[in-house]
């Protein structure tokens, strides 16, 4: 078959070219595959951590147990769906030792607990079912380090809970179930559930929380099972929870991360598409004569088309093989390096399906990027081809399938039509700018240069390169287009990377260790004096007033929507307490963790006339559908308070300070009944316990929660996420730079004949180098300018949609990446020049 023979010859004669071509595609595919698998692993491992926090796939909990008819229905429904099951009863109770009495959080556990996650106890290590059986057989108790310290207990000592005396069996060293499940008022202890009755606690009317945990056969069904369970259980006091809402803000961030990683993957793939599309177009341009000759000796169009298709398929196979080879080579390293992330083997991700997907992807990318030029080529008249020319221009419509594919990919990977579309639109704008404005400029330049000595303007090398730029329109446009799309993509990643990392990185401020609440108004002064005297780093207490939202712009509000994002225990509590209940606070201005994003500051203390001024948290306002200027009416203990929204705040919730969604100006709520919240800043574990003791002795009604453990866990997870983003961004940028390098390199190789002629004209080495430097600097500058500006715009829009408007401009990246790109250009030129210049004219002319 002729087409096959032609293709075979093509490969034989131009093996290096096609190898390079495949390498380009491979780099993109490897980037995409790696990011794809990595993303799966990261999100999985993060999701796993969040299921650990819930300690099962699904949990049903409430102040009372599901009982009678409902229980039967629930258990019947769950029977075929679950693999493991466990129940937990937890309650607050006083614990007594020989010398002390303190409030404890008692968890009565059963076999299998926790279904997901683990507990480590000093005497046993990681707890297994044998240990729990033992706990249910004998009156033993595992205590937290706080209990150990407060009661001064050691193994074998006695601790009385309710009517039973338990023997201390060990100290809890690690407990994955503790974080995020609401803050606990008191230090916890674990005892066997079989002793619940004997403690007689429940029968005395102590409020207990009862939870049924299930591990599902198919964890991905959790959400739909939850909905069905919610239909079975009519009592709204009983909640069905899945890991997703075990920690809402965590899953929100995991979502961002996953989407962002997906986008990076698409970008890597796109970069390589830009690269091969460039290489392919310049290849076709070089082969025009050859195709013309083939046609003139009677080779049919379909044969020529077939020939090209065979080449494309071969390149696809070659790239797939190289991708797999590289994956085989590189992934074990990656797995090694990322050990803490991947519980299993990374390579397990590379299944036959993945191989098929890679091959399919490489073919699609190949065909879609090569199709436009190919179709233009096939339309040409033989004589035009023989002259080495192309008539007519590339119709942008031909790029439509490719564009559509790109669009679909971005939507798929970003999980968002808007973000995918923004990406797509941005690249389209780059395309338009390069294809319309630039040619106009080049034409004008060209007209100005006609009939002017080559040594003008400026100097001979400059004038020379200016002519090349203006007249080599096809090359100039193609190169600027490819480079600027590349730079756009790289900049988007670089800019978003910083924004996302900022979202994940906590403020420098010391984190709180203790949360104090239920502080009565009359206690505030005493507490302040006391903490000062004892040198406890207490932050100024924040007032909190219970209220109900009545009206929004005069209209009655039905019910408050469930909020997402970081919510404090108080807000959770108030949500449980009253659906429309909200917590108000007042302050003269913003605190250190808040930033004004819209509107103006408070005008000062309320004068008593007109509407009071209120500031809302941005996301809260968005959910409530309220903007600056709207009015809200609250009911505070029977009194209606009308307020006008004067500004929206953004809260850095990684500061973990007490932040309120609704803050009034001073002078409005001072007389309302209220309690205060306060935090004690980062202090050592020892000091925490000491302070806790002191506070409990002197202010017995104040509740204290120790939040340092929870905060540390969250921060550690964020750190890992930020790191993952950094690694992936870098990966993508490396792919980008490689593609840009190969574009430059191929362009420079074509300069070979030009160099021979320049030598013939008598140009010295320096001048030839200068000409090339000028020309490429110009192309590179234009592309870098367009790309950087577009990149920042896209990053801004995406972060506006993605990150609720947190955009952090990354100036260092902008400068750094542009310098790197320019250095890359210059170095590639020098390298290629050195290689070429020593060859004699005939060598340069041949080939």
Partner 1 sequence: MIEFKSVSKTYLQGIKEVEVLKELNFRLDKKGLVAIVGKSGSGKSTLLSLLAGLDNPTHGEIHIDDVCVSDLNESELTKFRASNIGIIFQHFHLIENFTALENVMLPLEVTGVKDAMEKAKNVLATVGLEDRIHHFPNQLSGGEKQRVAIARAYVTNPKIILADEPSGNLDPETGEKVMQTLFETARELNQTVILVTHDDELARKCDSIYEIKDHRLNHVC
Binding site for partner 1 (CB under 8 A): 387, 389, 450-451, 453-455, 460, 467-468, 471-472, 754, 756-757, 759-765, 767, 837-843, 845
**Cβ closer to partner 1: 39 or 467?**
467
Q: Closest approach of Cβ 283 to partner 1, in Å?
A: 19
Q: Closest approach of Cβ 389 to partner 1, in Å?
A: 7
What is the helix (H) or strand (E) element at residue 519, kind and residue range? strand 512-520
Q: Which of 680-703 are b and which e, b meaning 16 or more Cβ less than 10 Å from the residue's Cβ? A: bebbeeebbbebbeebbeebeebb
**Cβ closer to partner 1: 163 or 387?**
387
Residue whose structure tokens are 């102590």 = 206
**Cβ closer to partner 1: 466 or 632?**
466
Q: Closest approach of Cβ 830 to partner 1, in Å?
A: 16
**Cβ closer to partner 1: 757 or 815?**
757
**Cβ closer to partner 1: 209 or 778?**
778
Structure tokens at 312: 């494309």
Q: Closest approach of Cβ 768 to partner 1, in Å?
A: 9
Kindly give, in sequence order, each residue whose CB lies less than 8 Å from that of residue 78, ignoring residues fewer than 6 positions away.
85, 214, 229
What is the helix (H) or strand (E) element at residue 352, kind and residue range? helix 352-379
As a whole number of angstroms, the distance between CA 131 and CA 122 comes to 12
Side-chain-side CA neighbours of 3 within 13 Å: the count stands at 14
State phi, psi for 793 to the nearest 5 degrees: -60, -50
Structure tokens at 529: 């004096």
As a whole number of angstroms, the distance between CA 327 and CA 314 comes to 20
Q: Closest approach of Cβ 648 to partner 1, in Å?
A: 57
**Cβ closer to partner 1: 601 or 754?**
754
**Cβ closer to partner 1: 603 or 843?**
843
**Cβ closer to partner 1: 421 or 839?**
839
Determine if the peptide bond prior to 457 is cis (ω within 30°). yes
**Cβ closer to partner 1: 205 or 453?**
453
**Pick from 602, 598, 563: nearest CA to 800:** 598
**Pick from 256, 778, 321: nearest CA to 497:** 256
The answer to whether 655 and 593 have CB atoms below 8 angstroms apart is: yes
Q: Closest approach of Cβ 452 to partner 1, in Å?
A: 9
**Cβ closer to partner 1: 133 or 836?**
836
As a whole number of angstroms, the distance between CA 18 and CA 313 comes to 12
Q: Closest approach of Cβ 461 to partner 1, in Å?
A: 10
**Cβ closer to partner 1: 716 or 841?**
841
Determine if the peptide bond prior to 114 is cis (ω within 30°). yes
CA dihedral 425, 430, 431, 435 (to 10 degrees): 140
State phi, psi for 631 to the nearest 5 degrees: -110, 145
Q: Closest approach of Cβ 456 to partner 1, in Å?
A: 9
Q: Which long-range contacts (CB under 8 A, 24 or more apart) does 764-773 make?
A: 765/837, 767/460, 767/461, 768/833, 768/837, 769/829, 769/830, 769/833, 770/461, 770/462, 770/465, 771/461, 771/464, 771/465, 771/468, 772/465, 772/748, 772/829, 772/833, 773/465, 773/826, 773/829
Q: Closest approach of Cβ 845 to partner 1, in Å?
A: 7
**Cβ closer to partner 1: 79 or 838?**
838
Q: Closest approach of Cβ 420 to partner 1, in Å?
A: 40
Q: How deeply is 601 buried, as exposed, middle or buried, from its count of CB atoms within 10 A (0-12, 13-18, 19+)?
A: middle
**Cβ closer to partner 1: 99 or 842?**
842
Cα three-residue angle 372-276-3, rounded to 5 degrees: 65
Q: Closest approach of Cβ 757 to partner 1, in Å?
A: 5
Structure tokens at 106: 């008692």
Residue whose structure tokens are 């932040």 = 659
As a whole number of angstroms, the distance between CA 336 and CA 419 comes to 33
Q: Closest approach of Cβ 778 to partner 1, in Å?
A: 15
* C-beta neighbour count of 747 within 10 angstroms: 24
Q: Closest approach of Cβ 472 to partner 1, in Å?
A: 6
Q: Closest approach of Cβ 343 to partner 1, in Å?
A: 56
Q: Closest approach of Cβ 301 to partner 1, in Å?
A: 25
**Cβ closer to partner 1: 538 or 844?**
844
Q: What share of the chain is helix, strand, coil (3-state, %, to 5)?
A: 60, 15, 25
DSSP notation for 110-133: -TT-SSSS-EEETTTEE--HHHHH
**Cβ closer to partner 1: 236 or 834?**
834
Cα first-last separation, the chain:
28
**Cβ closer to partner 1: 535 or 840?**
840
Strand partners, 704: 516
DSSP notation for 381-410: -HHHHHTT---S---GGGGHHHHHHHHHHH
Side-chain-side CA neighbours of 464 within 13 Å: the count stands at 17
Is the torsion defined by CA of 759, 764, 770, 773 positive or negative?
positive
> What is the bridge-based pairing of β-strands 140-143 and 158-161?
unpaired
The answer to whether 772 and 825 have CB atoms below 8 angstroms apart is: no
Q: What is the CA radius of gyration of the chain?
A: 34
Q: Closest approach of Cβ 294 to partner 1, in Å?
A: 21
Q: Closest approach of Cβ 321 to partner 1, in Å?
A: 28
Strand partners, 160: 96, 165
**Cβ closer to partner 1: 362 or 476?**
476
**Cβ closer to partner 1: 469 or 492?**
469
Q: Closest approach of Cβ 777 to partner 1, in Å?
A: 18
């Amino acid at each position: 078959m002729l087409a096959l023979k032609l293709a075979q010859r093509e490969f034989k004669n131009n093996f290096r070219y096609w190898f390079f071509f495949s390498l380009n595609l491979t780099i993109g595919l490897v980037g995409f595959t790696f990011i794809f698998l990595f993303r799966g692993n990261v999100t999985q491992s993060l999701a796993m951590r969040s299921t650990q926090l819930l300690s099962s796939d699904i949990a049903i909990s409430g102040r009372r147990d599901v009982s009678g008819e409902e229980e039967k229905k629930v258990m019947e429904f769950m029977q075929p769906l679950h693999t493991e099951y466990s129940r937990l009863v937890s309650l607050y109770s006083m614990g007594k030792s020989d010398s002390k009495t303190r409030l404890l959080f008692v968890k009565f556990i059963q076999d299998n607990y926790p279904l997901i996650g683990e507990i480590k106890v000093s005497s046993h290590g990681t707890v297994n079912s044998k240990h729990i059986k033992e706990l249910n057989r004998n009156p033993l108790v595992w205590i937290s380090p706080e209990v150990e310290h407060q009661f001064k207990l050691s193994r074998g000592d006695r601790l009385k809970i309710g009517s039973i005396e338990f023997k201390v069996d060990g100290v809890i060293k690690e407990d994955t179930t503790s974080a995020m499940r609401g803050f606990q008022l008191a230090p916890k202890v674990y005892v066997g559930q079989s002793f619940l009755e004997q403690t007689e606690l429940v029968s005395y009317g102590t409020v207990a929380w009862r939870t049924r945990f299930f591990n599902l056969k198919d964890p991905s069904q959790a959400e739909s099972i939850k909905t069905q369970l919610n239909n079975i259980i009519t009592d709204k006091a009983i909640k069905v929870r899945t890991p997703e809402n075990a920690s809402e803000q965590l899953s929100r961030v995991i979502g961002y991360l996953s989407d962002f990683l997906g986008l990076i993957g698409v970008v890597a793939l796109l970069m390589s598409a830009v690269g091969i599309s460039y290489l392919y177009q310049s290849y076709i341009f070089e082969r025009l004569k050859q195709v013309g000759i083939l046609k003139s000796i009677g080779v049919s169009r379909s044969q020529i088309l077939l020939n090209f298709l065979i080449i494309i398929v071969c390149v696809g196979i070659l790239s797939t093989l190289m991708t797999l080879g590289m994956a085989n080579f590189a992934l074990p390293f990656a797995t090694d390096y990322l050990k803490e992330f991947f519980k299993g083997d990374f390579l397990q991700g590379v299944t036959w399906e993945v191989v098929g997907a890679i091959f399919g992807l490489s073919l699609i990318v190949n065909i879609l990027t090569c199709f436009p030029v190919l179709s233009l080529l096939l339309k040409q008249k033989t004589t035009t081809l023989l002259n080495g020319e192309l008539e007519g221009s590339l119709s942008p419509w031909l790029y439509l399938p490719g564009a559509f594919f790109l669009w679909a990919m971005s939507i798929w990977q970003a999980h968002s039509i808007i973000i995918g579309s923004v990406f797509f639109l941005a690249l389209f704008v780059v395309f338009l700018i390069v294809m319309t404005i630039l040619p106009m400029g080049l034409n004008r330049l060209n007209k100005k240069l006609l009939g002017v000595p080559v040594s003008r303007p400026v100097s001979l090398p400059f004038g020379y390169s200016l002519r090349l730029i203006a007249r080599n329109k096809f090359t100039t446009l193609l190169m600027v287009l490819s480079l600027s799309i590349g730079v756009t993509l790289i900049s988007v990643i670089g800019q978003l990377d910083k924004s996302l990392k900022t979202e994940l990185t906590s403020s420098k401020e010391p984190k709180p260790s203790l949360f104090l609440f239920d502080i009565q108004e009359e206690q505030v002064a005493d507490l302040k004096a006391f903490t000062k005297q004892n040198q406890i780093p207490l932050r100024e207490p924040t007032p909190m007033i219970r209220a109900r939202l009545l009206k929004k712009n005069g209209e009655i509000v039905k019910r408050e929507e469930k909020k997402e994002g970081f919510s404090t225990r108080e807000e959770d509590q108030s949500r449980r307490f009253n659906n429309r209940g909200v917590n108000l606070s007042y302050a003269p201005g913003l605190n250190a963790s808040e930033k004004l994003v819209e509107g103006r500051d408070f005008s000062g203390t309320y004068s008593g006339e007109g509407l009071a001024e209120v500031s809302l948290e941005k996301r809260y306002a968005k959910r409530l559908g309220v903007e600056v200027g709207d009015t809200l009416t609250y009911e505070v203990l029977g009194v209606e308070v009308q307020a006008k929204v004067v500004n929206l705040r953004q809260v850095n919730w990684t500061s973990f300070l007490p932040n309120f969604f609704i803050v009034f100006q001073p002078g409005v709520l001072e007389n309302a009944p209220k309690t205060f919240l306060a935090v004690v800043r980062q202090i050592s574990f020892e000091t925490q316990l000491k302070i806790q003791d002191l506070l409990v002795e002197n202010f017995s009604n104040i509740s204290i929660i120790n939040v340092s453990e929870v905060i540390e866990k969250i921060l550690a997870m964020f750190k890992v996420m930020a790191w993952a983003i950094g690694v992936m961004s870098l990966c993508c940028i490396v792919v980008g730079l490689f593609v840009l390098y190969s574009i430059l390199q191929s362009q420079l190789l074509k300069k070979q004949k030009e160099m021979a002629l320049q030598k013939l004209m008598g140009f010295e080495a320096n001048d030839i180098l200068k000409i090339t430097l000028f020309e490429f600097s110009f192309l590179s500058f234009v592309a870098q300018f367009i790309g950087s500006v577009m990149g920042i715009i896209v990053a801004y829009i995406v972060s506006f949609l993605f990150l609720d408007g947190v955009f952090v401009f990354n100036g260092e990246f902008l400068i750094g990446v542009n310098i790197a790109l320019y250095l890359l250009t210059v170095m590639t030129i020098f390298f290629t020049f050195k290689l070429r210049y020593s060859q004699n004219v005939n060598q340069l002319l041949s080939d």
